[in-house]
Every structure is written in structure tokens, then in C-alpha cells.
Amino acid sequence: MKTPFDLTGKTILVTGASSGIGRQTCISIANMGGKIIASGRNEERLKETITMLPEDKHKMFKADLTKTSEIEEMVNDLDKINGVVHCAGIVKLLPMKFYTKEYLREVNEINYEVPVLLTKTLHKKRKILNNSSIIFISSIMSQVGKIGQGLYAGTKGALVAITKVIALELAAKNIRVNCISPGLVKTPLIDLITFKKEIEENIKLHPLGLGDPEDVANACVYLLSDASRWITGTNLIIDGGYCAQ
């Protein structure tokens, strides 16, 4: 029996699809019947993601979305889509005294400018169908303060803010725009963080423990599906109880 969470007939673009939350989001969407267009910079890992998906209907685009030309090229080649999940992002933990223009620009470009400009390009070229869904992946750091996370938190907070504006601008076409703010999730990004003591302390702040990529991916399925057809401009917090303390 078909459920309101079914994604059969929907084509979804997922950025950052080569690992972590992006890869699991592709898997979860495909398991609910959706067709995936996977985007990322690492071709080999993108191919691995595609092999994990049921059925042989999915596509991939190797693209560096920090380059305007590659955004344009990918969007021009896209079929019409029913949704996009912006999973691509980076973490850079630095105390304020170590901030530089270069660090600010790097984190802002990947975490904020890329998803916003990709969304603009998709809309301008009329690639997003009416009654579609756009999801930005933010972070619980957009809601709370933690030492060393200023650069990261700033970009993620910006996503939450602009989500509300884009949601209003696209409401006439019934295109829903929402944000998801996960707490600490077990992904390869954790292994790249050098502040191990900070990570250990963060784990203790999640009453339900660390999240799995599936926890975020399931929320994406919900916001992409007809089950959430009356939800837009929101920020869904999935943090294992972090903010409850």
C-alpha cells in the first residue's frame, strides 16, 4: 500500500553524495522509490554510491560546485527535478584568534554560497518543478554556541535564515523550502576533526548518543515526500536531545 512517504516518480538531486549523510540520503530516497541524481567531486566515491542504490535508473554528476561554470554545466544537463538536498559541506574548527579571510571565504563558499547559488540557478533555469521540495542541511551549531565553531556555525546559521526567505519567494509555485539541523552524526567528517577532546565532550551532550546518517536521511525523505506538503520555512532539529539541556 502506498504511503505518504513514498517517493516513486520523484527525481531528487543530492549534493555531497559521495559519503556520509549525502550518501545515506541517496540510499534512503532510492529505497522509497525515488530517482537519484548524485553530485560530488570524487568520481570513484560517487560511483560507489550509485552501486548501493536499488534499480538502474540513477545518474551522477562529477562537479566542483565552487566553480560557477560547473554549476551551470550540471544544471543545464539536468532533467526536471522534484527536489534537491544540499548535503555538501565542510567543518573547520578554529578559535576566533586564528580566523583569516582565507578561512572565512573557504567555509562560507562551500557551506553557504554553493547551496544558495545552486538553488538560484536551478530555479532560474526552471529545473525545479512546481510542488517540489528543497532541503538545506544546516547544523545544531546554528542554534547553540561552542568554542572553536564560529566559522562553521556562522555559515550554518545563514542557511537557516535564508531558508525562510526562499520559502516565501517560492511559495507561489508550491515549492517548499526547509532546513535540517543535525547534532553530531557518525560520518567520516568526525575523523577529520583534530579537536578530539572537543568531540568527546560533544558526545556527552547528546542524551540519546550520536546520530547515524540514517536519522538525517529519514528526515530528508519526510520533507521530500507528500507527508510534509504543508511544511515550509522551518528548521527541523535532529540532535539526540542536545538542545533539551
Report which secondary-structure segment, H or E, holds 202.
helix 196-204
From the list 15, 31, 34, the residue with the least C-alpha distance to 23 is 15
Share of the chain above pLDDT 70, in %: 95
Contacts of 163 (CB under 8 A, 6+ apart): 136, 138, 177, 178, 179, 233, 234, 235
Q: What are the tens digits of pLDDT across the range 7-19? A: 999 999 999 999 9
**Residue showing cell 529519514:** 218
The mean per-residue pLDDT over the stretch 80-94 comes to 92
Distances (CA, A) of 33 to 2, 22, 58, 129, 234: 11, 17, 11, 18, 25
Confidence of residue 83 (pLDDT cuts 50, 70, 90): very high
Q: What are the tens digits of pLDDT across the range 115-170? A: 999 999 999 999 999 999 999 999 999 998 888 888 999 999 999 999 999 999 99
The mean per-residue pLDDT over the stretch 182-195 comes to 70
Catalytic residue among 99, 112, 152, 222: 152
The mean per-residue pLDDT over the stretch 102-109 comes to 94
Q: What are the tens digits of pLDDT across the range 195-218? A: 566 667 777 888 998 899 999 999
pLDDT at residue 91 above 60? yes
Q: In order of start, what are the domains of the chain with their CATH numbers?
A: 11-238 (3.40.50.720)
Q: What are the tens digits of pLDDT across the range 11-41? A: 999 999 999 999 999 999 999 999 999 999 9
From the list 103, 190, 202, 194, the residue with the least C-alpha distance to 155 is 103
Q: Phi-psi category of 88—alpha, beta or left, where left has phi over 0 and alpha has psi -120 to 50?
A: beta
Predicted confidence at residue 171, as pLDDT, reads 98
Predicted confidence at residue 199, as pLDDT, reads 66
pLDDT at residue 194 above 60? no
Is 152 considered catalytic here?
Answer: yes
User: pTM of the predicted model, to two decimals?
Assistant: 0.94
